[in-house]
Amino acid sequence: MALMSFLKEREYEFVTPTPATHFRNNRREGNESARSLKDAFGWSRPFERSLLPKPLFGLLLDSAVVCECASGWKSLVRASTLHGDLFFHSAFPTVAPDAVFFGPDTYRFARAIKQNLASEPRQLSRALDLGCGSGAGGVILARNASCRALVLSDINDAALQMSRLNAAAAGVSGVTTVHSDLFANVEGEFDMIVANPPYLNDPLQRAYRHGGGELGSALSLRIAQAAKNRLSPGGTLLLYTGSPIVGGVDRLLQAIEEDFATTDLQWSYEEVDPDVFGEELETAAYSTVDRIAAVVLTARRPGVLPC
């Protein structure tokens, strides 16, 4: 929180790009070490301890937020700005099994939530950010709707720690965090469920990146299948994810159509970006895939939300 306050006071801003763009920027001549707060806490470049006030540096060192490296010191967290709020997440490169994700998908996810709530302002008794990561989805939801209770759930303890901090820094109240594999430890129904799960076939099977199944869509389908039974009357599921397009066929949409065929849900499915993570097509796992599309599934249970 001390670092969060320090960065806010200095009007810090950083937009997190894709890992490929991040790598290309950092390997440019002159970018070997940090010259600014954005370099140190956005681009994850080594910095001199003189960049920070001594008391703050000491606090970060004692809390293992910074560590010594060959070229100086490095932050183990990044700080990114989204719609006026500041979010902590894992430093680049995100290779740890418990890395906390934030990137271009987070910005698309936030836009989808805002657009959904703008079309019909809602008063929500209970809302859930499932697999919350940094908590960005839950914070954006709370910023754009009247929400009495917000649950942030994740299987990753590091994500829960960062999501609690990020929600508190954004001034979001009524927040509960739950360690859970999807809905295993999450009780009750919700007026709105948002989720931005991992959707790639990751050889390292990192929790923030690996979606399971042959092409990474297994987790997204599991969420859609389970969430439909956790919506209160009038409740909405908003699932932002990616889908492999094979031979012109959207594999996730095909599975959703089959699963939702016997339900009374009112649902829609939109391709919001036709081509993401194109570098994955060079791997053996995606040798039959035309492209990976970013998609938004919105499903609503019939009924009316209570006032």
**Residue 69 burial (C-beta neighbours within 10 Å; 0-12, 13-18, 19+):** exposed
How large is the average pLDDT for residues 263-286? Answer: 94
Predicted pLDDT at 266: 96
Task: List all residues 6 or more positions away from 32 whose beta carbon is below 8 Å from its beta carbon.
Answer: 45, 46, 71
**Residue 37 pLDDT > 90:** yes
Retrieve residue 166's tokens: 């990020």
Under 8 Å between Cβ of 225 and 277 = no
Closest CA relative to residue 174, chosen from 140, 193, 157, 151:
151
Return the pLDDT at 212: 86
Please name each of the domains of the chain with its CATH number: 2-75 (no CATH), 104-300 (3.40.50.150)
Strands 123-130 and 85-90: unpaired
- In the three-class reduction of DSSP (H, G, I as helix; E, B as strand; rest coil), residue 305 is classed as coil
- Give the separation between CA 156 and CA 163, rounded to whole angstroms: 11
Confidence of residue 299 (pLDDT cuts 50, 70, 90): very high
The per-residue pLDDT for range 98-119, each reduced to its tens digit, is 999 999 999 999 999 999 999 8
In Å, how far are 160, 191, 228, 236 from 302, measured between CA atoms?
Answer: 32, 12, 11, 9
Residue 55: burial class (beta carbons within 10 Å; 0-12, 13-18, 19+) = exposed
Per residue in 250-260, pLDDT (tens digit) is 999 999 999 99
Which tokens in the block code for residue 103? 């990137």
Residues 176-188: tens digit of each pLDDT: 999 999 999 999 9
**What is the rounded (10 degree) CA torsion for 168, 171, 176, 178?**
-50
What is the pTM assigned to this prediction? 0.95
Band (pLDDT 50/70/90 cuts) for residue 147 is: very high
Residue closest to 112 by CA, chosen among 292, 245, 272:
272
pLDDT of residue 183: 97
| Residue 306 pLDDT > 90 | no
DSSP string for residues in 240-289: EEEEEEETTEEHHHHHHHHHHTTS--EEEEEEEES---GGGGGSGGGTT-
pLDDT at 121: 80
